Amino acid sequence: GGDVSAALKQRATGNVRSDPKLYPKMSVLKVGFYRELLSFGYNVWACDADAVFMHDPRPLMAERNYALADIAIATDCIDIPLDSRSPLMHCDFNTGLVYLRSKPNTIEFAELWRETVANAKEHRIRDQAAFNMLTKVRPPTPLSIEGSRVERLFSVTAGADGADFRLAVLPLSRFLNGHTYFVQHAHTLPGAPSPMSVHMTYQFAEGHSFAYGKRQRLREHGLWLVDPDEYFNGKYVTASAEHATLPRKEMGERVDSRDAVKYHLEEARHRTNVIRALLGIGKALGREVILPRMLCYCDFMWKEMRNCRVGGAETMRLPFDCPMDHVLNTPSFFGDFHKNGTEGRTALGVGVREPNFLLNPRVPAAVRESVAKAALGKGLNDAQISQALAPHAAASIIEIDDVVGTFCGFADGAANREFAERTKQMLTYKRTPFCMMEGSDNAPLFSQCCSPRKPGDKFFPCIHGFDDPDPLPACAAGR
């Protein structure tokens, strides 16, 4: 492990996932570490760096059913109602959240698990794939004791003839993932249990140096606790809530995906125009931008959907407050990390804050309460913006009413070209198209999205989005 540890240390600020040779070796190191801890008599709650515990999970493992488990594991399923009736075993187990009890059979399994990763001939066989291979080579058997079924517990034989152990499948309603927490917002439903943990899966914004989308999701939900005080003590510009989004439309459970996507893209165009104006005003004034509320009228998934909802989330609410990575080229809004671990400025030189930034308790009252509300004319350049807002220079927050169309660019030609180029890059989002079952002439499940797999096959039609941002508005006459 010494060579691997040294290599990891050299990549302290890089995204290890992007290194296909080093990442599997890190998996070997990780599982080997679990085994060492188990051999010393310690029970292990292991979670990935992108998982957060909201409550102490240890008391749960002392409850009757879970006290019988040797290992407990989360899953990648997203259907909470179905999982609440019976654990969903068709989904992958996710080793980003796993509990191992210090027992001889668990230690034996951990060693087999480590060796499976270490000896894999394919780079894709990492700790999660190896865990699933070992535990599902024989279907897990529901556990019964004295003729009574023990809920959520299964008997497992690892590999062909490896260790036998009892496996608990953690309840999806309490161990949430990137879809159930940040898209379905299942924890906010009436009667929903308090989340035990959340894992940042199902996200779409891993930069080459950092998982920006995961950090931003945590910020949006008040779960990222390591920002420095300066993050909360600046001067900011934002859009009024009334005009930050288009009028809200409810999308019922039977909405046609095509209608939902149409309004989703209209909202996206409006959002882009709001953000581009705010970025221009922020740059002109030297202020950070508090992003507008972001509403999604359709889920974002790499497979087919009906009613703009993916299978397993048929009852989720639309619209929902969507994560930044669902609708924006998230890494481009943030600076790359330097070797000393600090984050540099963005190419545009304007920092951004999450839409609900002002709800964070770390924002000082002196900042939160220092708000100037302003209305601007249309088609103003940077100098005119600065002049119009000069009376509000002392305010911590300037809230612009109906900001779309107010900022037309910079008086300096070179600065204006750079702004147009940078913001076009930031606001152009190339993503997986919306793939929908409506209009498919009843294409069977597992049909291909967007085009037939072979001539004559049915397929699921697609709508591509998002468009490039609109040009900057024309400057008003005489400006």
Structure tokens, 426: 């930031």
- Reduced to 3 states (helix: H, G, I; strand: E, B; else coil), residue 74 is strand
- Contact at 8 Å (CB) between 279 and 350? yes
Give the pLDDT band of residue 11 (cuts 50, 70, 90): low
Return the DSSP state at 29. H
pLDDT at 16: 66
C-alpha 26, offset from chain centre: 23
| CA–CA gap between residue 431 and residue 204 (Å, rounded) | 9
**Residue indicated by tokens 């934002």:** 238
Asked whether the predicted pLDDT for residue 73 surpasses 60, the reply is: yes
In DSSP notation, 398-466 reads EEEES-TTSEEE-SSHHHHHHHHHHHHHHH----PPEEBSTTSSSPPTTPPBSS-SSTT---B-EE---
Please tell me the least confidently modeled range out of 120-124, 136-140, 336-340, 390-394. 336-340
Q: How far apart are CA 112 and CA 123, in angstroms?
A: 18
Mean pLDDT across the stretch 206-232?
A: 91
Query: Does residue 13 surpass a pLDDT of 60?
Result: no
Q: Residue 338 burial by CB count (10 A; 0-12/13-18/19+): exposed, middle or buried?
A: exposed
For residue 160, is pLDDT > 90? no
Q: Residue for token digits 């890089």?
A: 14
Q: What is the pLDDT of residue 14?
A: 60
| Average pLDDT over every residue of 178-195 | 96
d(CA 229, CA 252): 42
What integer pLDDT is reported at residue 187 of this predicted model? 96
Is 175 strand, coil or helix?
A: strand
- 347-399 tens-digit pLDDT: 899 999 999 999 999 999 999 999 999 999 999 999 999 999 999 999 999 99
| pLDDT of res. 116 | 92
Q: How confident is the model at residue 339 (pLDDT cuts 50, 70, 90)?
A: low
Element (H, E) at 165: strand 164-169
- Tabulate helix, strand, coil % of the chain (nearest 5): 35, 20, 45
Q: What is the mean pLDDT of residues 415-437?
A: 94
What confidence category does residue 5 fall into, taking pLDDT thresholds of 50, 70 and 90? low
- pLDDT mean across residues, the chain: 92
Distance CA 51, CA 219 (A): 13
What confidence tier does 443 reach under pLDDT thresholds 50, 70, 90?
very high
Q: What is the predicted pLDDT for the residue at 430?
A: 84
Confidence (pLDDT) at 121: 81
Higher-pLDDT residue of 338 and 355 is: 355
The span from the first CA to the last CA of the chain, in angstroms, equals: 65
What residues have CB less than 8 Å from 219, skipping those under 6 apart?
Answer: 227, 354
pLDDT (0 to 100) of residue 344: 75
Lowest mean pLDDT among 79-88, 137-146, 274-283: 137-146
Average pLDDT rounded to a whole number, residues 438-454: 94
Split at pLDDT 50, 70, 90, the class of 178 is very high
Q: Which residue from 353, 397, 398 is spatially nearest to 231, judged by alpha carbons?
A: 353
Is cis: bond before 319, omega within 30 of 0?
Answer: yes
Residue 352 token pair = 């951004």
Q: Could you read off the pLDDT of 25-34 as tens digits, one per residue?
A: 788 999 999 9
Q: How far apart are CA 295 and CA 297, in angstroms?
A: 7
Stretch 425-453: mean pLDDT, rounded? Answer: 93
pLDDT at 338: 67
The predicted model scores a pTM of 0.92
> Quick check: 10 pLDDT over 70?
no
